[in-house]
């Protein structure tokens, strides 16, 4: 088991556009966390676009904060909302 905290803080600019900051971390095994230099921490400025009632698009640019983390990553998530 690994401890990987993640969170997002966002603000609705309009009903269709949300801006925010996301955090992704990987601190190592729960039984004994990795040394700080081996942990992974990323901050991601992001935007969410509600394209329709059924579709959403999340775009972000991740910035690595430690040597163990990728320095820069672009991310995209395409979401499809389903009704049951």
pLDDT attached to residue 37: 86
pLDDT value at 16 more than 90 = yes
pLDDT tens for 30-48 read 999 999 889 999 999 999 9
The percent of residues in the chain predicted with pLDDT above 90, rounded, is 90
The percent of residues in the chain predicted with pLDDT above 70, rounded, is 100
Tell me the C-alpha distance between 23 and 17, whole Å.
19
Closest CA to 56 of 73, 74, 77, 75: 77
pLDDT value at 83 more than 90 = no
Tell me the C-alpha distance between 79 and 84, whole Å.
16
pLDDT attached to residue 20: 98
């Amino acid at each position: 088991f690994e401890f990987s905290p993640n969170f997002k803080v966002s603000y609705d600019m309009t009903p269709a556009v949300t801006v925010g900051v996301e955090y992704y971390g990987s601190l190592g095994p729960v039984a004994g966390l990795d040394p700080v230099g081996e942990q992974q921490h990323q901050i991601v400025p992001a935007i969410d676009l509600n394209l329709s009632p059924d579709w959403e698009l999340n775009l972000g640019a991740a910035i690595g904060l430690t040597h163990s983390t990728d320095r820069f990553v672009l991310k995209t998530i395409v979401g499809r909302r389903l009704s049951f």
